[in-house]
């Protein structure tokens, strides 16, 4: 019984430490990707029209993935790391109860042994009293032992149940993130694959010759803003864009359709699944 609690304390502590580090690294990956989005926007403003549009769409998709990664970090913290942190207190309480029961049980066993010796040495007129005391001590020791077994049994059952739930939540959170990420990455891949290199080359050659090309080579912030593309807003900073995307993701997390992450997996479209199986996407 003591080994059960000791092993739980050791390994649950290690799980908590490793999964907390896993969550922190995921958050750092999100931050690095946000920096990449900013650099893509800056670079897009220096390029030819076709590349500007392609990089703008790619940056938007990459930002969407980071919105999902932000939700992933928050869910890991709430459903995986925090329950493991709280388990340390429960283990300490169970250990304290075991220690208390063990102390009482040992005292009762010592009393039982003492009364047994007294019964063997006592005169015949005191034998009845000794036997009564021995029986009482034996009943008390048996009762305490039964309480101790029930306590450890309940702890073991709850431990296994909690372990199953914690890692089931972990796997579900990971599946939801990767499913949504693959869907967005498929869109990003398609946008990059549709890039028209020749039109940009023709435009570039025309500018080198001093001839007006087919497009107006203005920076992205001078083009007509698109309501569906936040990167083209001239007055919006890169950091505010990322925060805006993050707030949109948080708002979508509160929508009833997002309550059950397993339903997100069921809603994955056939087109996304086909793109996941396309060799080009796997590259």
Residue 225 DSSP code: P
Cα separation of 84 and 91, whole Å? 11
Q: The CATH number of 1-213 is which of 3.30.360.10, 1.20.1270.60, 3.90.330.10, 3.20.20.110?
A: 1.20.1270.60
Cα separation of 53 and 45, whole Å? 10
The predicted-structure confidence for 101-130, as pLDDT tens digits, reads as follows 887 777 777 777 777 776 667 655 555 656
Name the phi and psi angles at 226, rounded to 5.
-110, 130
The predicted-structure confidence for 67-91, as pLDDT tens digits, reads as follows 999 999 999 999 999 999 988 888 8
Higher per-residue pLDDT: 108 or 98: 98
- Name the nearest CA neighbour of 64 among 233, 205, 225, 185: 185
Largest distance between two CA atoms of the chain: 127
Cα separation of 250 and 194, whole Å? 31
Residue for token pair 């948080």: 250
Confidence (pTM): 0.64
């Amino acid at each position: 019984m003591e080994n059960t609690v000791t092993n739980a304390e050791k390994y649950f502590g290690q799980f908590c430490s490793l999964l907390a580090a896993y969550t922190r690294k995921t958050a750092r990956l999100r931050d690095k990707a946000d920096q990449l989005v900013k650099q893509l926007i800056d670079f897009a403003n220096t390029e030819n029209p076709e590349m500007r549009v392609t990089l703008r769409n790619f940056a938007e998709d990459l930002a969407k993935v980071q919105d999902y990664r932000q939700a992933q970090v928050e869910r890991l913290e709430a459903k995986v790391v925090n329950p493991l942190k709280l388990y340390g207190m429960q283990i300490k309480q169970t250990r304290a109860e075991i220690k208390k029961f063990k102390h009482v049980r040992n005292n009762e066993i010592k009393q039982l042994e003492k009364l047994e010796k007294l019964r063997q040495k006592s005169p015949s007129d005191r034998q009845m009293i000794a036997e009564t005391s021995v029986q009482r001590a034996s009943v008390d020791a048996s009762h305490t032992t039964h309480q101790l077994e029930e306590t450890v049994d309940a702890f073991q059952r709850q431990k296994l149940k909690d372990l199953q739930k914690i890692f089931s939540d972990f796997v579900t959170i990971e599946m939801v993130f990767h499913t949504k990420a693959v869907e967005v990455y498929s869109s990003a891949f398609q946008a990059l694959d549709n890039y028209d290199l020749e039109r940009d080359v023709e435009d570039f050659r025309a500018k080198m010759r001093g001839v007006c090309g087919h497009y107006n080579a203005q920076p992205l912030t001078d083009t007509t803003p698109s309501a569906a593309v936040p990167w083209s807003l001239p007055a919006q900073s890169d950091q505010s864009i990322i925060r805006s995307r993050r707030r949109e993701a948080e708002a979508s997390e509160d929508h009833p359709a997002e309550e059950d992450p397993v339903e997100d997996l069921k809603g994955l479209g056939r087109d996304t699944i086909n793109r996941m199986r396309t060799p080009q996407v796997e590259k």
